[in-house]
Structure 1
């Protein structure tokens, strides 16, 4: 089975390809790297003598994380698969990061949201026990007590809030992205049904609501 996965939820883009038993990947850490998704995929497929039709299953991160990166990656996969009978596994980024480590410890995966908040997902004994949720900075220390912090965004909050939690460095690996897609293939949907995991309303939506004294349904902006 040939599998292709996209993660653009962080600072950059990771494209992973499984062809037979081999895994290949391309990364971009450049500013606005989400705009390179299509070209990265195209180059990787050409290098491996494949076309988009040769890919059996796709995966794409849906959040939480960078709204811009996630929107671009979803739009890219929808464009690439237009009129093709292909399915995509929606990837929860906090689960993906946890799977890159996956120990029995109590682990808190943190991701930056707004200045006064964080996305929090807590795991213990290989199970999700909290989240992912949007948590105020003021409540964060209490919620993640006794948990190990995972990844570079965990370092950001540890330094910002002077947290005493132990930090584990963990960089996302291409094979972890592919494994997630394979292990969650039963959750695959058609590209048109991919939805961003909104744990908070986009700031533009909130400002529009306040300005016009109205409430906008999530289905309108997702």
Structure 2
């Protein structure tokens, strides 16, 4: 696929910005707004049900798997699970996803902080801020975050990420996606998929995607795409 001038400019800007991201993350010390104090390693409370993945043939990195509906319902995080909701956009699909994340956090009593992107110039700084909070998991919602996350996540392999309603085209092992037919944006260079449908972003489907995605991360099933039915 030919690389357009716009795409080249976008990639150059991201490559330049990632240097600032790495330097900022490396140089940031403790602050009153992070979780740098002692914290028990998070664990999964409850087991995945039959059909989430094939236990005898676990998915390879970057694989797409379709877990059996409800096979994640018994899983929740251990106490004091630290999560950052990284959000970009005020469109209805993004609002629906963000609401699903906050609702899930309330249900499982996770500690939740929100980092919201103000404009395109704030994409990299917002990701930097989310990483510097040192959460157990960063949950990303909003298509505008996909391209910068593709670079940032590869430079922070010790930080777990979950994208909901979208996916990074070539994820590293620390990036898991939970989406569905109608919600699988993979970056500006690839554009919106033909099946993209804002109406598919229902509260119920978004909630299932969040729960399934977190369950996968808690059980070490990362770097894959979960296709929610």
TM-score class, shorter: 0.3 to 0.5
Q: What is the TM-score of this pair, normalised by structure 2?
A: 0.33
- Which structure has the larger Rg? 1
- Using CA pairs under 8 Å that are at least 6 residues apart, name the structure with larger relative contact order, 1 or 2: 2
Q: What is the TM-score of this pair, normalised by structure 1?
A: 0.33
